[in-house]
Structure 1
Amino acid sequence: MYGGSSDGEGGGHDTSSAAPAAPQKKIPPASSMPWVRNLRRYIGTGAGLGSEALMELETKRILLEIFKERQQKNAEAGSIPSFYKKKPEEGSISHRVQRLAKYRFLKKQSDLLLNADDLDAMWVCLRENCVIDDATGAEKMNYEDFCHIASVCTEQIGPKCRRFFSPSNFMKFEKDEAGRIAILPFYLYVMRTVSLTQARIDMSELDEDSDGFLQPHEMEAYIRGLIPNLAQRDMPPAFIQMYWKACIKKVLLSNCLQELMELHQESEEEVTDTEQAENWFSLTSAQRICDMFLALDKDMNGTLSKQELKEYADGTLTEIFIERAFDEHVRRSKTGGGNAREMDFESFLDFVLALENKDTPEGLTYLFRCLDLHGRGYLTTADIHTLFRDVHQKWIEGGNYELCIEDVRDEIWDMVKPADPLRITLSDLLACKQGGTVASMLIDVRGFWAHDNRENLLQEEEEPEEEVTRLASQRAVVIFSKSSCCMCHTVKTLFSDLGVNTAVYELDEDPRGREMEKALAKLIGQNPPVPAVFIGGILVGATDKIMSLHLGGKLVPLLRAAGAIWL
């Protein structure tokens, strides 16, 4: 009925008059058209593309490379990369070459260090070529002086001092308004760098396998090398072995050589008896530990049985703690009958170190293994009750008042405040900062007595603090010092150069010096606390604080305000 195309409706023409539609032509595929192929080839080269198109093309290329690289790695996943390199065998050619190369490297590094004469010559150069600050009296140098001193030192000492006079080193120090730095902090920096580098070289020489760590036998060699330079150099030859064993145990516990370095003195008479007794590395302390071990060894077989160890500390330790110490920290005896265990001297050193350093993570870890009766990694209320039961028995046998174990258990829980209210872990004891006290309460009746009488003991401890306060207010400037301390000498020299009449208290020459030193450590918050400087009765601080005030031009006004100087 309806003939023709519907295309004519839009044009308003009658359908009857429309011409018959022409047949549509087939468009050939693009691949058969040469100009299309040429265009695609042209676009593929990237020529003529805009910046955005080029960026997109480059991004696709990079992503494709990353994808191919990951595919290749996944294909090679079956081969594990090498993470272990076998050490050369002793006496092999590679081992000898490695040792020779290491020796030459360390020798070269040692030759680059400044010796004592070089350091003295550098100090003379610094003093002769510096300027005096009119306001503070400090010896300073600007960058031009710094470069000139570098040239003079290089001529007199050699090129090995040149590395200390780099621009970056100059920029490390605090500068005044004129861009000058003080020569004293710079010289101390040089001295400390040389000292630390020398210690590093000495220890590296003893690292036989070059793994970056010192084993106990390597530490033994290090201690043996230090003995001729220590105040203990006159110790009996038969005692040397016990001495270095004690030193190694302490170093491995604390990883701190501060006390050991304190013994580099000309004679042991320069240090008080109290200091010698409290320094683990001193001959006095080592002799004390050795005498203690020999006194406990009743059968003179060179080891301690459980019964013999019970006499330690006048028998105040509990039996259950002694049993647990043997279970956890004493190796099974090879010579004893049956399964008997006895404690040798090295295990005894571990035992003493843990008890004398209960507040350290290492000491507390040692004790916690003894307290953990079931090896579960935590303590329950039942464990606390079991551990304290022996302490309670000794407490009553000593004629003390009756106490409730449950009350003590609750007090321990309040002190620790564990994350889990039903159990106490080692992490809880370390976090509460009272882990050593808690351990003492559970293993030693004397430790519990000290906790129970802490208020009376605290009043006794306050007496040295009152003495420090009294002495600090007697003069405008008061310095608590030690005669053998180089930093103390530096501070005293500074105040002397400023014309300040100071009152100096040498703690190593005072009968109560050790107690006052502990009181100062609490006030300052660092140990050792010397030099401690009081101005106008107020604690100013130690060397770093004094030097900071001096270099900043604030020390002299502070001294004027306190009436220490008038000009």
Structure 2
Amino acid sequence: MDWKEVLRRRLATPNNGPNKKKSEQELKDEEMDLFTKYYSKWKGGRKNTNEFYKTIPRFYYRLPAEDEVLLQKLREESRAVFLQRKSRELLDNEELQNLWFLLDKHQTPPMIGEEAMINYENFLKVGEKAGPKCKQFFTAKVFAKLLHTDSYGRISIMQFFNYVMRKVWLHQTRIGLSLYDVAGQGYLRESDLENYILELIPTLPQLDGLEKSFYSFYVCTAVRKFFFFLDPLRTGQYLNLDKDHNGMLSKEELSRYGTATMTNVFLDRVFQECLTYDGEMDYKTYLDFVLALENRKEPAALQYIFKLLDIENKGYLNVFSLNYFFRAIQELMKIHGQDPVSFQDVKDEIFDMVKPKDPLKISLQDLINSNQGDTVTTILIDLNGFWTYENREALVANDNENSADLDDT
């Protein structure tokens, strides 16, 4: 009987003696005395506190230092063995072929056109015969994922097999990437990913014609895509912009980007906030810049541009910051002989589009939530973008007229 049970019984025993009933304080004191007595007895049964702590499983392992070469080699070898074991757990080509044979053998008629189907009963039969490596794929959850509108309650054999193939390929890719995790921390640093892509280039048929002198540019471009937000990249101007061929871009060289209509005020902010070397931008910084401008609907891109627009570093845009950037648009309009546009009108339009929580401040989250962030930022930094927005109705009408003309012909 443990101390808790003894304590419970002692406290539960009524006081039927001639003495008066115990007070609440007396009961509390007695409870504490009993607890102290049995706790001390229980603790005394342990040899010492350190031995008690030894029963806790180890959960922290220190990484080997740079000078602990043997420990580092041991760690690398153990990781390699682990990844090899994980690789052997994946289906190989022969096992995939056997799986396809079993699925085809157990198809459930009738076929839909040329597509073979299988019901849940036969699905489970194949799972029993396919072997332990396939067990993870033959579950009710997977079957339900692939079940659509078949009136017989079946799934497509081809869709299921493609599902398995994709899973195997994804795991193979992850294992391959893990081999480049030099630090062994479960993530890839920029240098790790660069090594992976560089060694991958010779295996990509699409890059057969790529000269080796451009490998470094391709690797850098691909890595920046991954690290920015994994969106497609459309850049090809860097070498053309670099007029002095020093591998860097000055503010003047960057001003020729796109339609060459970005304001000097905005470009000043780019060179103030972004990492530069002696006042010039390297290729990696350029790629971040391009990614942001080419994907202005994305939150990551809006965050990049918002930081440039937030000249007072307050975490929001107010009338002052909007006017600061739009004055540069107005100046470009004068230079190009365009009619001036009132800032007051533009400011009202921006606040109407965004509808911020605070009627005087626009936060980054306000921009993202409004789904108008790309339009607002374009109005403030690019004359061509502003002109397109300002004449949007006329442009739409012109497009409609051109479409009607084509229909008539």
TM-score, scaled relative to structure 2: 0.77
Residue 367 of structure 1 is matched in structure 2 by 305
Deviation at 1:303, TM superposition (A): 1.5
1:310 maps to 2:255: yes
Which one of the candidate residues 194, 207, 212 is aligned to 1:232? 207
The amino acid that maps onto 2:147 is E
- Give the alignment partner of residue 88 of structure 1, picking from 64, 79, 97: 64
Change (3 A) 1:45 1:179: farther
Indicate the residue corresponding to 2:265 in structure 1: 320
SS of the counterpart of 2:137? helix
Distance, in Å, in 2 between the alignment partners of 1:121 and 1:311 is: 58
Contact 1:132 1:138 in 2 (8 A): no
Q: CA deviation at 1:240?
A: 0.4
Q: Distance in 2 between matches of 1:377 and 1:84?
A: 39
Structure 1 segment 130-529 matched on structure 2, within 5 A: 130-133=107-110, 139-150=116-127, 152-154=129-131, 159-165=132-138, 169=142, 174=147, 180-230=154-204, 231-255=206-230, 280=233, 285=234, 288=236, 292-331=237-276, 333=277, 336=278, 341-458=279-396
Per the TM alignment, residue 225 of structure 1 is displaced from its structure 2 partner at its CA by: 3.3
| Counterpart-to-counterpart distance in 1, 2:306 and 2:355 | 17
Q: Are 1:102 and 2:85 counterparts?
A: no
C-alpha separation between the residues in 1 aligned to 2:124 and 2:60?
48
Larger CA deviation: 159-168 vs 209-218: 159-168
- Cα distance in 1 for partners of 2:282, 2:355 equals 37
2:198–2:219 CA contact under 8 A, matched in 1: yes
Contact (CA 8 Å) 1:296, 1:308: kept in 2 or not?
yes
Give the C-alpha shift of residue 353 in structure 1. 1.3
Pair 1:443–1:112, CA change in 2 (3 A)? same
Determine helix, strand or coil for the equivalent of 1:132.
coil
Q: Where does the alignment leave 5 or more consecutive residues of structure 1 unmatched?
A: 1-39, 49-59, 73-81, 257-278, 471-567
Tell me the equivalent position of 2:90: 113
The 8 Å contact of residues 394 and 445 in structure 1, kept in 2 or not, is answered as: yes
- Counterpart contact for 1:378–1:425, Cα < 8 Å: yes
Are the structure 2 counterparts of residues 310 and 198 from structure 1 closer, same or farther at C-alpha, using a change threshold of 3 Å?
A: same
Q: Secondary structure at the match of 1:89?
A: coil
| 1:36-51 superposed matches below 5 A | 44=10
Q: Go from structure 1 to structure 2 and tell me whether the alpha carbon gap of 1:204 and 1:403 turns closer, same or farther (over 3 Å shift).
A: same
Query: Which protein has the larger Cα radius of gyration, Structure 1 or Structure 2?
Result: 1
Give the Cα separation in 1 of the matches to 2:77 and 2:376. 53
| Alpha-carbon displacement from aligned partner over 1:394-427 (angstroms, at most 9, x marks no partner) | 1232232232121111111111111111221212
Separation in 2, partners of 1:373, 1:84: 44
Q: Following the alignment from structure 1 to structure 2, what is the Cα–Cα distance between the partners of residues 301 and 345? A: 11
CA contact (8 A) 2:177 2:196 kept: yes
Q: Is the 8 A contact 2:107 2:116 kept in 1?
A: yes
Alpha-carbon spacing, 1:461–1:98, altered in 2? closer, same or farther (3 Å): farther
Structure 2 vs 1, CA of residues 305 and 101 (structure 1 numbering), >3 Å: closer, same or farther?
same
Is the CA contact 1:318–1:390 (under 8 Å) kept in the aligned structure 2?
yes
Distance 1:294 1:187, change over 3 A: closer
Deviations 1:275-307 (CA, angstroms, capped at 9, x unpaired) = xxxx53xxxx55x2xxx2233223332222222
Q: Tell me, yes or no, if the aligned pair for 2:124 and 2:138 is still in contact at 8 Å.
A: yes
Per the alignment, residue 506 of structure 1 pairs with none
Distance (Å, rounded) in 2 between the aligned partners of 1:97 and 1:255: 34
Judge conservation of contact 1:220–1:248 (CA < 8 Å) in 2.
Answer: yes
How many Å separate the matches in 2 of 1:120 and 1:463?
A: 57
- Determine if contact 2:91/2:168 at 8 Å carries over to the other structure: yes
Quote how far apart the aligned CAs of 1:143 are: 4.9
Find the aligned partners of 2:388 and 2:297 in 1 and give their Cα distance: 15
Q: How far has the Cα of 1:167 moved from its partner? A: 6.4
Consecutive unaligned residues in structure 2, runs of 5 or more: 1-5, 15-30, 44-57
Q: Provide the rounded CA distance (Å) in 1 between the counterparts of 2:341 and 2:121.
A: 76
Structure 2 vs 1, CA of residues 134 and 465 (structure 1 numbering), >3 Å: closer, same or farther? farther
Cα pair 1:141 1:181 within 8 Å, conserved: yes
CA-based RMSD of the aligned residues comes to 3.9
> Please, what TM-score do these two structures have when normalized by structure 1?
0.57
Cα offset, 1:384, TM superposition: 0.9
> For the residues of structure 2 that align with 1:217 and 1:313, how far apart are their CA atoms?
30
Write the letter of the residue equivalent to 1:255: L
Deviations along 1:6-49, whole A, 9 cap, x unmatched? xxxxxxxxxxxxxxxxxxxxxxxxxxxxxxxxxx99x649899x
SS in structure 1 of the partner of residue 312 of structure 2: coil
The AA in structure 1 aligned to 2:200 is L
Aligned to 2:50: none
Q: Secondary structure at the match of 1:355?
A: helix
Over the matched positions of the two proteins, sequence identity in percent amounts to: 35
Q: Which amino acid aligns with 1:186?
A: F
Change (3 A) 1:134 1:430: closer
CA distances 1:84-136 after superposition (whole Å, capped 9, x unpaired): 86422245333222221211111111112123443233223211221213788
